[in-house]
Structure 1
Amino acid sequence: MRKASVAIVILAAGKASRMGEGGKHKLLAEFDGVPLVRRSALTALGADAASVIVVTGHRRSEIEAALDGLTLTFIDNPDYASGMASSLIAGFSSMDADSADGILVMLADMPGISTTHLDALISAFRNVDGKAVVRAVSRGKPGNPVILPRSLNHAVLRLKGDVGARDIIATSGLPVVDVDVGDAALLDVDTPDEVLAAGGALN
């Protein structure tokens, strides 16, 4: 039997407004010498997914430069300032995403997420034949990443403003499979302090 295919969409378009006015971009902060956005992309490329799509926007050229040489599909979201919905729509509209049975939405600013975590989510998605939402949780608390089955693509394309997939999951009527990946599901870095606390270095 064919395994459900999953495309990974990495959201890397945001403005990182909570990093302060210093102009340091959190996705370029280095973890073990690797910019966070590249680390996230390498994590995604290691997973058992059909393709990895990166949605860029804010400081796009620097983000793309940090991802140089990787086999990624870049989608530019010129409307990134309007919030996360526009980036989800940009990613879901790409050809690679459109042909997949499910889309794993990954935030680029989550340093704790590993390829093992992504594969656990993808495997759970395949176990339900791609017919449920799969989300990472930590001790029962919903986090990220999330896999949305293809049947929800239309709902994503109708999103507006700074909303993510959470509302769609709540109203989808689909079963939700939770996969506990520990603290990594809730750890994102939004401020310089959080970057440093998570082991990152700001350049």
Structure 2
Amino acid sequence: MSRTSSTPDTVGLLLAAGGGRRLGGRPKALLPYRGRPLVEHAVRVLREGGCGRVHVVLGASAEEVRARARLADCVLVENPDWADGMGSSLRVGLNSLAQHGSYRSALVSLVDQPGIGAAAVARVLAAAGTGFAAASYDGRRGHPVLLGAERWAGIARTAEGDRGARAYLKEHADELTLVECGDVAEAYDIDLPEDLARLEDGGGAPGPAAGGAE
């Protein structure tokens, strides 16, 4: 898959701290996918979609992830409270971005959604000028989500549990640009043992390569 031109003012933020409680305690970042840890695939998707820099929030088995996954070009951030849910990882990630550069926006994605590929990332990045956008699937909001820097503090204040930015997105729904990606991606999660078959099949996002994204 060819890489699209990067958007230097937008940084990729990958939430990869989950411990896979419903998967028997298997950290999601280390789930095998096409012969490598799933976190590597998720980082590659962000880069091929146009994110020149990627911050990765680790949590469960963070040291093992650092040792086994090839993440040398990423900024790795640890969330000691990862067990509290995705909201805590989002807060840690946004704080990291604020401290590491003058980014205008962040593209947030989740490690356990391998059906969302670079084409969807590129489409949402194309809406970077709005400062507030999200992929949608048959009209239903999903990931990745583009968050302008001016919104980070407000999102961090409301992010809690497994809801992440959901409360903020709902409150500001009339300001959010939805970017339909259902024709190039599938927004399933790897949450349950039966979902692991999707990884074993090596199934990825459908549709054209990122270079053909609209």
Short-chain TM bin: 0.7 to 0.9
Q: Deviations over 1:84-108 (max 9, x none)?
A: 1110011001146662111111100
Q: Return closer, same or farther for 1:25/1:77 CA change in 2, 3 Å cut-off.
A: closer
Q: How far does residue 38 in structure 1 lie from its aligned partner after superposition? A: 0.9
Once residues 144 and 15 of structure 1 are traced to their aligned partners in structure 2, the CA distance between those partners, rounded to angstroms, is: 20
1:192 aligns with 2:193: yes
Once residues 14 and 5 of structure 1 are traced to their aligned partners in structure 2, the CA distance between those partners, rounded to angstroms, is: 27
Q: How far does residue 173 in structure 1 lie from its aligned partner after superposition? A: 6.4
Which of 34, 40, 46 aligns to 2:42? It is 40
Conserved in 2, the CA contact under 8 Å of 1:152 and 1:172? no
1:100 aligns with 2:99: no
Runs (5+) with no aligned partner, structure 2 = 1-6, 203-214
What residue number does 1:112 align with?
Answer: 115
Once residues 38 and 56 of structure 2 are traced to their aligned partners in structure 1, the CA distance between those partners, rounded to angstroms, is: 13
Kindly tell me the number of residue pairs found equivalent between the two proteins.
193
1:166 aligns with 2:166: yes
Conserved in 1, the CA contact under 8 Å of 2:8 and 2:51? no
Alignment of 1:119-138 (within 5 A): 119-126=122-129, 128=130, 130=131, 133-138=132-137
Q: Return closer, same or farther for 1:100/1:93 CA change in 2, 3 Å cut-off.
A: same
Q: Return closer, same or farther for 1:195/1:27 CA change in 2, 3 Å cut-off.
A: farther
AA in 1 matched with 2:168:
I
TM-score by length of structure 1 reads 0.84
Q: Deviations over 1:130-156 (max 9, x none)?
A: 2xx211111111111111111211112
AA in 2 matched with 1:151:
E
Once residues 17 and 111 of structure 1 are traced to their aligned partners in structure 2, the CA distance between those partners, rounded to angstroms, is: 19
AA in 2 matched with 1:9:
L
Q: Deviations over 1:55-81 (max 9, x none)?
A: 001110222234325410000000111
Q: Deviations over 1:150-194 (max 9, x none)?
A: 121111221333321121112236621111222735211112210
TM-score by length of structure 2 reads 0.80
Q: Could you say what secondary structure the match of 2:49 adopts?
A: coil
AA in 2 matched with 1:63:
V
